[in-house]
Amino acid sequence: MYPLLFFLSVNLFLYSWIGAFHSVVHFNKFEYLTSANHYLQDPRINGGNFSLINSLGQYDSQWYLKIADKGYPDHPKGPIKEQRKIMHTLLYNFFPLYPLCIAVINFFIRNVQLSAFILSNSILLACVYSLYFVVSRWFTKKIALKTILLILLFPFGIFLRGYYSEGLRLLLFIWFCYGLAQKKHMLSAISVGLLCVTSGISLLLLPFYFGVVWFYRKSLSLQKMLVYGLLAIIPFLLWMSFCYIHTGDFLIFIKTRYAWERPHIFPLFYNIFLLFIFPRLPFRDFYSSQIDVLSILVTVCIAFLSKNVLSKVVWLAAIILAFSPLLVQDSVSFARFSSVFFPFFVYLAVVLRKQYYILLVYFFCAGLLVSSLYFVNWYWIE
């Protein structure tokens, strides 16, 4: 009952807040027109009224919505580069599971934005109940509820309500970690397999999972090891096969990834360099912002402090998921990704004393209310 109460209370208040105060922040027409792709137009661009369901489909959401509605292009031609008014080959940068889920709902609803809204909120509710189940078994029901409240109020948790894959990644990562911790290898194999077709930055969890299975090889038969390995890798192999059939390139999603602007040196070195020039960075920007660098620093600190509180295998999984993006891209979107690192929220729920936990809840709540208004008005806050 409490998980549902938390979910309904926070979401209804948040959506009411957005509906009542969205106009407090000016609609960012400039960034909307110059810095984003659009599949479905925001009615405000032509003087129309605000729509909550439409406004949650911000930036990358538009790519997922188009895939869900129209699918991936068949044998696209032309250069693989970003073109603000064209959403074509670069659709392959966005992995298929989340838009496929939208498409299933849209088969019945026949409104892709409404379908995405229903899906994102349903996934978030599933995350809430999953956290309650999993964390209650690791610690206590009280810790589980405290974790849920932190996740729901996290300032960048607005992306869990938008039409992004983060909610699905969070749900699958919860069950992947639970499978690892409880030695339920079938569950963790299925979860990591689905994670690998939800987002490319989850791919390093695959060799990690193979390493875990190999570690337990003395207690597993060769047949079981093969079954778990196949369950983990088949979804990604199917995605690669799909890409080859429709583009002639097994790895088209890598080429599309680097069509966006990226630093021309090794990303890890560039991200370390950002730490040294932090005071000179803009607070909010598309690339190399103080928001993203602060998110990295806080995550590093919590990762270090949590190593003796979390299960070792769960802690390692969280480390890999958290920091693997920094190996292949700059700091962009790290703040958004951090909403998926639930073991670190569990750590905060465990160690914070009552007064500090309450203070963090107030801070998170204020941050979410502010970030949500910027989010729905097309400001890049990742």
pLDDT tens digit string along 147-185? 999 999 999 999 999 999 999 999 999 999 999 999 999
Could you tell me the maximum CA-CA distance found in the chain, to the nearest angstrom? 66
* pLDDT given at position 101: 98
CB burial of residue 40 (10 Å; 0-12, 13-18, 19+) = middle
Angle at 372 between CA 366 and CA 97, to 5 degrees: 125
- Given this model, what pLDDT does residue 334 score? 84
pLDDT reading at 138 higher than 70: yes
**pTM of the complete model:** 0.95
Whether the predicted pLDDT of 263 surpasses 60: no
Q: Amino acid identity, residue 51?
A: S
pLDDT of residue 256: 86
Lowest pLDDT segment from 67-71, 116-120, 134-138, 332-336: 332-336
Q: pLDDT value at position 28?
A: 92
Q: Which residue has the higher pLDDT, 260 or 232?
A: 232
Phi then psi dihedrals of residue 329, to 5 deg? -150, 170
User: Which class for 53: exposed (0-12), middle (13-18), buried (19 or more C-beta within 10 A)?
Assistant: middle
Note the pLDDT tens digit of each residue in 102-121: 999 999 999 999 999 999 99
Place of tokens 């803009």: 282
Enter the tokens of residue 93. 């940068």
Asked whether the predicted pLDDT for residue 264 surpasses 70, the reply is no
pLDDT tier at 271, thresholds 50, 70, 90: confident
Q: Give me the chain's average pLDDT, please.
A: 92
pLDDT recorded at residue 265: 64
Residue 288 predicted with pLDDT over 80: no
In whole angstroms, give the CA distance from residue 82 to residue 142: 47
**pLDDT higher than 90, residue 272:** no
User: Rounded to whole angstroms, how far apart are CA atoms 33 and 85?
Assistant: 9
Cα gap 190→198, rounded to integer Å = 12
Taking alpha carbons only, the member of 52, 53, 55 closest to residue 28 is 55
Confidence band, pLDDT 50/70/90 cuts, at residue 218: confident
Q: Which two tokens stand for residue 58?
A: 């911000």
% the chain with pLDDT above 90: 74
Q: How far apart are CA 103 and CA 119, in angstroms?
A: 10
What pLDDT digit, counting tens, does each position of 71-101 carry? 999 988 877 776 767 788 899 999 999 999 9
pLDDT the model gives residue 262: 60
Long-range residue pairs from 262-271, CB within 8 A, at least 24 positions apart, any chain: 262/329, 262/330, 263/330, 267/326, 267/327, 267/328, 267/329, 267/330, 268/326, 268/327, 270/330, 271/296, 271/326, 271/330, 271/331
Identify which of 207, 155, 168, 245 has the alpha carbon closest to the alpha carbon of residue 324: 207
**Mean pLDDT computed over 37-55:** 93
pLDDT at 261: 59
